[in-house]
Amino acid sequence: MAGKKAPPEINASSMADIAFLLLVFFLVTTTMDTDLGLSRLLPPPLPDEIEEPPDIKQRNVFEVLVNSNDQVMVEGDVMQISELTEATKEFVKNPNNDLDLPEKELRTVDFFGNVEVSKQVISLQNDNGTSYNMYIQVQNELARAYNELRNELSMEKFGKTYDYYLETGDKPKVKAIRKIYPQRISEAEPKNVGGVE
C-alpha cells in the first residue's frame, strides 16, 4: 500500500500549558483554611422546676462583667483588658492563701500526690450590647490565664510545657494538670444594664 503513512505523532508540548492552567485554577480556588476557634461547652438547658443553685462562697467567685460600652469590671473594679490575665492568675492560684481569694482543699492527684486545689469559679457576665469582639477577647484572656498557669505548673513538675503534653497526647499528665487547675468559667444569663434602649 503506497498511500499509507505512519500516523503523525500528536504534539504533546501544549500538555504542560494545559496542566499549568488547571494548576493555577486550583491554586486560586483553594482555601486551606483550617477552622480555628475557642472551644467551649455550653451548660445543658435548665429543667422546668428550678433547683436551688449550689451555694458558692463569695470569695470563690471571680466576677467578670462586660458592659455595653465594652468596659470590663472585675470584682467591682474597672479593669483594662490587658490586666485581666494577671488578675485571673492571681485569683486562681492564690499564692499567699489570702482570705479574700478562693479556698483550697486537699486532693490527691496522680504524679503530684496531695496538693491544694483552689475552689475557684469564674463568673462571666456580658451585656446584650457587648460587642462580640470584646467578648472573645475576654474569653481569650481567661483561657490564657489558665493555660499559663498550667504551663508553669507543668514546667515546674515535669520540665516541659503543658502544650507539649497536649500535642504529644500524654493523657495522664494532661489530666493531672487539669485536675489542679480546672477551667471553670460559668456564664450568667446576660442582663440589659448600662445600655440604651
> Judged by CB, which is closer to another protein: 88, or 101?
88
Q: Which is nearer to another protein, 109 or 174 (by Cβ)?
A: 174
CB of 135 to another protein, least distance (A): 6
Closest approach of another protein to the CB of residue 70, in Å:
10
Backbone angles phi, psi at 153, to 5 degrees: -60, -45
State the number of CA atoms in the 13 A half-sphere of 142 facing the CB.
Answer: 27
Give 107 or 191: the residue with its C-beta nearer to another protein.
Answer: 191
Minimum CB separation from another protein for residue 97, in Å? 28
Site residues, another protein (CB under 8 A) = 12, 15-16, 19-20, 22-23, 26-27, 29-32, 34-45, 68, 126-133, 135-137, 139-140, 143-144, 147, 189-190
- Contacting residues for 59 by C-beta, under 8 A, at least 6 apart: 99, 100, 101, 102, 103
- Beta strands 121-126 and 185-187 are parallel
CA–CA separation, 197 and 195 (whole Å)? 7
Tell me the pairing of strands 104-109 and 77-79: unpaired
Q: Buried b vs exposed e over 105-132: b needs ≥16 C-beta within 10 Å?
A: eeeeeeeeeebebbbbbbbbbbbebbee
Helix (H, G, I), strand (E, B) or coil at 68: coil
Least Cβ distance, residue 165 to another protein (angstroms) = 15
- Judged by beta carbon, residue 77 or residue 132, the one nearer another protein is 132
Minimum CB distance to another protein smaller for 24 or for 78: 24
Please, what is the minimum distance in Å from the beta carbon of residue 2 to another protein? 34
